[in-house]
């Protein structure tokens, strides 16, 4: 594990399509965690978890069921309290922040989960407009029919990015699984977040649709220059899409390494 005590770090170089490394500039740290611990009903989940993420990094979190991957994400977002340690997200002290400060922080984050969480009876466009609720709360962003023109335009632009602008008026419950997840990605991107969090984004999809969604998700993330944290049980996805891999096991985080230097066999060892 690595503790980050400085305000900036050099983002890991990323391989381009030819396999050559591309040097990245010094970028701000979007997230820093130090000595984090969490337990439920007296049962420890993890402790002494420390890491930092620079702007534009893609980081995979891997580990067996019950090691606390989703719990860690919920702590980072301030949805559940940690027992010890510090969490700084986009300059917000998560553990000491007010509810208003946490809402402002989450408004700068996008979330894609394994359950697409679309409102079935609303249109695709209305579902994407709802991605602006964190920044612009109120009834006007519950439906595209009431949304201001700039919000509808932003939602349509997000749908264009995922290739579904032509389905803007279709009800969400008439979409395929892959289409639904693409709409969820558009909803996560519409507010131009600084951090994207994905919790098993392909778990409910067949392998072909899952590959399409991952390719699209990370192409857009790179294009937008956002920091990505994603949970995956798919070792190949962790190595292919992550700049770094964080591994939870045995009540801690024994792995924090560049994906390019890891093998699938090494990651499988976390599941033993």
Q: Check residue 187 and give its pLDDT.
A: 94
> What is the total count of domains within the chain?
1
Does some domain include residue 267? Answer: yes
Q: Which domain holds residue 68?
A: 29-108+193-202+226-272
Does some domain include residue 214? Answer: no
Does some domain include residue 81? Answer: yes
Does some domain include residue 14? Answer: no
Q: What are the residue ranges of helices labelled H in the chain? A: 69-76, 99-106, 124-129, 149-161, 177-189, 207-224, 235-241, 264-268
pLDDT at 147 over 70: yes
Q: Check residue 229 and give its pLDDT.
A: 94
CATH of residue 54: 3.40.50.300
pLDDT tens digits, residue range 169-211?
999 999 998 999 999 999 999 999 999 999 988 887 888 888 8
Does some domain include residue 175? Answer: no
Give the pLDDT band (50/70/90) at residue 107.
very high
User: How far is residue 220's CA from residue 214's CA, in Å, rounded to a whole number?
Assistant: 10
Does some domain include residue 2? Answer: no
Secondary structure (3-state) at 90: coil
pLDDT at 6 over 80: no
pLDDT tens digits, residue range 54-87?
999 999 999 999 999 999 999 999 999 999 999 9
Does some domain include residue 270? Answer: yes
User: How far is residue 166's CA from residue 38's CA, in Å, rounded to a whole number?
Assistant: 45
Does some domain include residue 117? Answer: no
pLDDT at 11 over 60: no
């Amino acid at each position: 594990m690595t503790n980050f005590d400085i305000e900036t770090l050099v983002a890991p170089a990323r391989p381009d399509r030819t396999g050559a490394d591309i040097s990245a500039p010094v970028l701000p740290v979007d997230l820093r965690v130090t000595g984090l611990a969490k337990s439920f009903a007296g049962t420890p989940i993890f402790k002494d978890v420390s890491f930092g993420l620079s702007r534009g990094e893609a980081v995979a979190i891997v580990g067996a069921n019950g090691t606390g991957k989703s719990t860690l994400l919920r702590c980072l977002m301030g949805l559940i309290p940690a027992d010890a340690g510090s969490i700084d997200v986009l300059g917000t002290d998560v553990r000491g922040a007010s509810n208003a400060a946490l809402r402002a922080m989450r408004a700068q984050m996008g979330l894609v989960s394994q359950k697409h969480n679309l409102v079935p009876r609303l249109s695709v466009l209305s579902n994407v407009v709802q991605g602006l609720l964190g920044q612009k709360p109120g009834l006007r962003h519950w439906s595209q029919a009431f949304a201001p023109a700039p919000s509808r335009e932003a939602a349509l632009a997000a749908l264009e990015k995922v290739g579904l602008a032509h389905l803007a008026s279709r009800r969400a419950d008439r979409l395929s699984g892959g289409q639904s997840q693409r709409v969820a990605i558009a909803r996560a991107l519409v507010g131009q977040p600084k951090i994207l969090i994905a919790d098993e984004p392909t778990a409910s999809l067949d392998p072909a649709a899952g590959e399409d969604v991952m390719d699209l998700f990370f192409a857009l993330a790179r294009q937008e220059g956002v920091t990505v944290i994603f949970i995956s049980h798919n070792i190949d996805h962790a190595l292919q899409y992550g700049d770094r891999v964080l591994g939870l096991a045995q009540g801690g985080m024994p792995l924090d390494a560049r994906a390019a230097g890891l093998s699938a066999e090494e990651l499988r060892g976390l599941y033993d």
